[in-house]
């Protein structure tokens, strides 16, 4: 699945020369936390988010800086911050270094980008032109649809056990565990000793996720840590 398959296409945008008050009104009315900023040709030139509005003279959050901060920032950076906190146009306040993706980017790429850059939305471009936007809400919708579409299939006890073992072999956290796995009438029975509570939970989740499983009976115990004697 690609970005174009899940993106919001009717994106609310704002022009760089528009009054900041107009942009804020759009954000409040549409209940969105960010607006892509586009020029007359539809090219993405920036993005205005709630984060850009946190340090504003209207909020009295544009506080004086210490002498040490003045020294570190330098005159040019201080002037830039003044424009951002006092500017009345979108272009004065917007973030110009925008993280964007192409239409054919995969959902995995979008999710990794959001996580690594700690951002909530990613504009989608066709060339330089904005054609959509993918938000965290769009990704969550995909998760919900996938969960709702999970097939309720019948499987034999042998098929369930083999599928679970195949899943567990993919993960390092299971390699060090000492657990037996049996399946009776669709119920997975876990027995043995584990060394971490996290692995115990992961094992149960893995079992529940196998199609055909009716339930999980966890008989495992946690090993007591062995004190180190020097």
List pLDDT tens digits, range 13-62. 999 999 999 999 999 999 998 999 999 999 999 999 999 999 888 888 77
Q: Report the phi/psi class of residue 213: left, alpha or beta, with left for phi > 0 and alpha for psi in -120 to 50.
A: beta
**E strand segments, 13-100:** 34-38, 44-49
pLDDT tens per residue across all 230 residues of the chain: 899 899 999 999 999 999 999 999 999 999 998 999 999 999 999 999 999 999 888 888 776 666 666 556 667 777 888 888 899 999 999 999 999 999 999 999 999 999 999 988 999 999 999 999 999 989 998 888 877 766 677 889 999 999 999 999 998 888 756 889 999 999 999 999 888 889 899 999 999 999 899 999 999 988 776 555 55
End-to-end CA distance of the chain: 55
The model scores a pTM over 0.75: no
- Spatial neighbors of 163 by CB under 8 A, at least 6 apart, are 155, 210, 211
**What CATH number should be reported for the domain whose range is 157-222?**
3.30.1340.30
Residue 64 DSSP one-character state? P
Q: With b meaning 16 or more CB within 10 Å and e meaning fewer, what string describes 46-64?
A: bbbbeebbeebeeeeebee
Question: Which of 158, 159, 177, 157 is CA-nearest to residue 168?
Answer: 177
Q: Three-state DSSP class for 194?
A: strand
- Spatial neighbors of 70 by CB under 8 A, at least 6 apart, are 78
Where along the chain do the CATH 3.30.1340.30 domains lie? Answer: 157-222
- Spatial neighbors of 48 by CB under 8 A, at least 6 apart, are 14, 23, 27, 34, 35, 37, 90, 93, 94, 95
Cα four-point dihedral sign 23, 27, 29, 30:
positive
Fold classification of 3-146 is CBS-domain (3.10.580)
């Amino acid at each position: 699945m690609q970005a174009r398959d899940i993106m919001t296409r009717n994106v609310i945008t704002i022009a760089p020369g528009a009054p900041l008050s107009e942009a804020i009104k759009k954000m409040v009315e549409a209940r969105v936390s960010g607006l892509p900023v586009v020029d007359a040709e539809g090219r993405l030139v920036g993005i205005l988010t709630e984060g850009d509005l946190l340090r504003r003279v209207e909020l009295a959050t544009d506080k004086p800086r210490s002498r040490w901060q003045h020294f570190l920032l330098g005159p040019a950076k201080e002037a830039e911050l003044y424009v951002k906190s006092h500017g009345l146009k979108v272009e004065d306040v917007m973030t110009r270094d925008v993280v964007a993706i192409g239409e054919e980017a995969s959902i995995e790429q979008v999710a990794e980008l959001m996580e690594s850059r700690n951002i909530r939305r990613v504009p989608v471009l066709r060339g330089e032109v904005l054609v959509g936007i993918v938000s965290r809400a769009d990704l969550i919708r995909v998760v919900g649809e996938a969960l709702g579409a999970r097939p309720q299939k019948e499987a034999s006890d042998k098929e369930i056990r083999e599928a679970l073992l195949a899943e567990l072999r993919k993960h390092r956290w299971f390699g060090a565990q000492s657990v037996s796995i049996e399946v009776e009438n669709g119920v997975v029975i876990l027995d043995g000793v584990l060394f971490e509570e996290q692995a115990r939970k992961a094992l149960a989740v893995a079992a529940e996720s196998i199609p055909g499983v009716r339930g999980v009976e966890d008989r495992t115990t946690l090993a007591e840590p062995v004190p180190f004697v020097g």
